Chains A and B, each alone.
Chain A
Amino acid sequence: DQQVKQNSPSLSVQEGRISILNCDYTNSMFDYFLWYKKYPAEGPTFLISISSIKDKNEDGRFTVFLNKSAKHLSLHIVPSQPGDSAVYFCAAGRGSSNTGKLIFGQGTTLQVKP
């Protein structure tokens, strides 16, 4: 049972345009959501997160939107840069869990073309 899903395996955008990466989840008990970025042969690095009590969080070029009724979140990158080319994972967790366990999606490979 895949609780966190990224249905688009890949996305290609032109430099300077907007990249939109999507993520769906099934468990309404998740308290927070995170986005990670991963380059080949490196570990994932944290990008941005959002609490379930918010619907938007912004950090520079990166904005995450949360639609709780649709159980959907998206990551917007504006403007996209070639260095943003990587695999992006969304993840979800519950605040009541003291183990810090996260559920990850399958990942979306973003290619930003110069």
Chain B
Amino acid sequence: DVKVTQSSRYLVKRTGEKVFLECVQDMDHENMFWYRQDPGLGLRLIYFSYDVKMKEKGDIPEGYSVSREKKERFSLILESASTNQTSMYLCASSSPASGDNNEQFFGPGTRLTVL
């Protein structure tokens, strides 16, 4: 069964802290994505990666960085957390071999609160 896991379901951090969000997929997918979901704004793409050590900025990369050292793992890093980064963070993966529609498989999400 397809599985995307995220390291934490809920996280509370303080302003200025460095925050790591981890995502692991067991489907041998090439593509991995980080989104944030905010009410009324939908899913906004932060960063994505189409191969190990490759990364591309999404629509809202400011204040974030990513790391993909292994195919199965994609990390999102908040260098210095701020209150406007309080959000639901969703990781997803996909593969061109999955079919014509590039279906993405999502993890359960991490609800991050920055105080």
Which A residues are closer than 8 A to B by beta carbons? 6, 9, 31-32, 34, 36, 41-46, 49, 51, 89, 91, 93, 95, 97-102, 104-107
Partner of B43, one of A31, A32, A44, A97: A44
The interface centre, meaning the residue of B96, B102, B109 with most chain A CB atoms within 10 A of its CB, is B102
Partner of A51, one of B9, B95, B100: B100
CA distance A34 to B44 in the complex (A): 16
- In the bound complex, do residue A32 and residue B101 qualify as a contact, i.e. CB atoms below 8 Å apart? yes
Q: Is B90 an interface residue (CB 8 A)?
A: yes
Partner of B103, one of A6, A9, A34, A43: A34
Q: A41-B111, A43-B108 are in contact. Are A102 and B102 (CB under 8 A)?
A: yes
- In the bound complex, do residue B45 and residue A43 qualify as a contact, i.e. CB atoms below 8 Å apart? no
- Closest B residue by C-beta to A93: B102
Task: Provide a sorted-by-A list of 15 A–B residue pairs whose CB atoms are within 8 angstroms.
Answer: A31-B100, A34-B101, A36-B106, A41-B108, A42-B108, A43-B107, A46-B103, A49-B103, A51-B100, A95-B102, A100-B33, A100-B102, A101-B33, A102-B104, A106-B40
Chain A residues near B43 (CB, 8 Å)? 44, 89, 91, 104, 107
Partner of A93, one of B50, B101, B109: B101
CB distance from A90 to the nearest CB of B (A): 9
CB distance from B33 to the nearest CB of A (A): 8
- In the bound complex, do residue A41 and residue B109 qualify as a contact, i.e. CB atoms below 8 Å apart? yes
Chain B residues near A100 (CB, 8 Å)? 30-31, 33, 50, 94-96, 102, 104
CB distance from A106 to the nearest CB of B (A): 4
Q: Is B4 an interface residue (CB 8 A)?
A: yes
CA distance A93 to B99 in the complex (A): 13
- In the bound complex, do residue B48 and residue A99 qualify as a contact, i.e. CB atoms below 8 Å apart? yes
CA distance A63 to B103 in the complex (A): 17
